[in-house]
């Protein structure tokens, strides 16, 4: 059974989807730690409800990214983490974590990468007037949403699509695709 740490900055809907997949035995993993950079994020409540340990930090309280990543790394070692799973974590991963977890950091992004990387991918897609968007699960490298793609699934954008309606469609796919992809990945790599 793989020990994973989930990194999140927001409401934690993908954290919950991963947790639900573990509970229903569709994903063979243990969430041993939640790492969060936003002390008011709802994902912390989700973790508390399940008695999942948390490491919460304020990046501004550290002199550098390297310093707070060393603090995170210390926690990851303490909990014997094997994989880092990003689920709405809004920071780039730096060399400290990339080196230690090379090939074992996975992210989910709400577009068909390489198009619309970075923040507000849903808004970017709507503004561009494209007919489809989707979800990408990829390995993390030093760039922003540039790592090798593991899985993708398309979503049709309707002519009068709103940001809210597209977000709902994308979340539905994310919550199904992410746990299933992680299960395949963790089984192959364990």
Taking only the tens place, the pLDDT of each residue in 126-183 is 999 999 999 999 999 999 999 999 999 999 999 999 999 999 999 999 999 999 999 9
Instruction: Measure the CA–CA gap between 23 and 41, rounded to whole angstroms.
Output: 23
Instruction: Measure the CA–CA gap between 169 and 74, rounded to whole angstroms.
Output: 37
* Beta carbons of 176 and 18 less than 8 angstroms apart: no
- Is the pLDDT score of 190 beyond 90? no
- CA separation, residue 87 to residues 131, 158, 159 (Å): 25, 26, 29
What value does the mean pLDDT of the chain take?
A: 95
Q: What is the largest CA-CA distance in the chain?
A: 50
Domain spans of the chain, in order of start: 2-108+139-152+175-189
Q: Given 109, 138, 171, 175, which residue is catalytic?
A: 109
Per-residue confidence (pLDDT) for residue 1, from 0 to 100: 82
Class of domain 2-108+139-152+175-189: alpha beta
109 in catalytic set: yes
- CA separation, residue 114 to residues 118, 148, 152, 156 (Å): 10, 10, 11, 17
> What is the mean predicted confidence (pLDDT) over 68-76?
97
pTM across the whole model? 0.95
Q: Where are the alpha helices (DSSP H) in the chain?
A: 13-23, 43-49, 65-78, 95-100, 121-128, 163-189
């Amino acid at each position: 059974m793989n020990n994973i740490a989930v990194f999140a900055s927001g409401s934690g809907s993908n954290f919950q989807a991963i947790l639900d997949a573990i509970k229903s035995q569709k994903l063979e993993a243990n969430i041993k730690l939640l790492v969060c950079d936003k002390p008011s994020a709802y994902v912390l409540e989700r973790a508390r409800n399940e008695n999942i340990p948390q490491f919460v930090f304020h990046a501004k309280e550290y002199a550098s990214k390297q310093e707070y990543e060393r603090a995170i790394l210390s926690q990851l070692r303490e909990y014997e983490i094997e994989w880092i799973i990003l689920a709405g974590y809004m920071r780039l991963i730096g060399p400290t974590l990339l080196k230690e977890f090379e090939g074992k950091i996975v992210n989910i992004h709400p577009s068909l990468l390489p198009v619309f990387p970075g923040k507000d991918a849903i808004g970017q897609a709507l503004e561009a007037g494209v007919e489809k968007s989707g979800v990408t699960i990829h390995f993390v490298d030093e760039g922003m949403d540039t790592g090798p793609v593991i899985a993708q699934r398309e979503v049709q954008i309707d002519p009068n699509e709103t940001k809210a309606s597209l977000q709902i469609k994308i979340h539905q796919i994310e919550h199904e695709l992410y746990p299933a992809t992680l299960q395949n990945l963790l089984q192959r790599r364990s």
